[in-house]
Amino acid sequence: MIKAIITFILLFTLDNLLVIFFPIQPLIGNYLVIPYLLLIGLCIYTFYDEKNYSFWLALIFGFIYDIYAANLLGIYIILFPVMTTVIKRRLVEVTPVNFISIFYVSMVGILSVEVIVYILVRTITNRAVSVWEFTQYRLLITLIFNTFLLAIFYLPIVKFLRPKPEKKVKTIMMDNTVA
């Protein structure tokens, strides 16, 4: 659990460092790119979580994400735990854990979060951003950028979040057979 908390702190920090120090905006012009390494980490951890810690981590880091990055407080504190719960209840048992399935689940999660945030921001703040502008200037480039982030950081995140396999110990039975 401590290893997962440290990993999520690093992912949250890396999300913010990518925005601050990686010159994305000058390279692509008017497009708005949002890195979601924390969300990708939550999707990966939900597959490996056996004790349902992913819900609580999603709640805590959703709150931190709300405080730091959200225009409307309360969006990510609801979306992150709901997303991890849906993944845990509907996908973990039927989906194999590999890069393709993690890629699919992460991209659908990012797409869902972005669309819900767009709808809420547009409804509550009454900003005049059309669906086409949102899709063209934010959604597609965010999905593409996070695809590259997932390809780069998949193995390190899995290495930190996957539980260590238990060692099988051979025991000697009473009748001198090895189990």
- On whether residue 54 sits in a domain, the answer given is yes
For residues 67 and 94, the answer to whether their CB atoms sit within 8 Å is no
What's the token pair of residue 144?
């593409």
What is the pLDDT at residue 111? 92
What's the structural domain count of the chain? 1
- On whether residue 168 sits in a domain, the answer given is no
Q: Give the SS3 label for residue 64.
A: helix
- On whether residue 172 sits in a domain, the answer given is no
Structural domain of residue 152, as residue ranges? 2-161
Q: What angle do CA 48, 113, 124 make, to 5 degrees?
A: 150
Across 18-27, 75-84, 156-165, least confident range = 18-27
Smallest Cα–Cα separation from 87: which of 52, 53, 50, 43? 43
For residues 15 and 37, the answer to whether their CB atoms sit within 8 Å is yes
Residue pLDDT, tens place only, 13-69: 888 888 777 766 656 667 778 888 889 988 888 888 877 888 888 888 888 888 887
Smallest Cα–Cα separation from 154: which of 40, 1, 4? 40
- On whether residue 26 sits in a domain, the answer given is yes
Other Cβ atoms less than 10 A from the Cβ of 8: the count is 23
- On whether residue 132 sits in a domain, the answer given is yes
- On whether residue 41 sits in a domain, the answer given is yes
Residue pLDDT, tens place only, 82-141: 988 888 888 777 777 788 888 998 899 999 988 888 888 787 777 777 778 888 888 888
95 contacts: CB under 8 Å, gap ≥ 6: 47, 101, 105
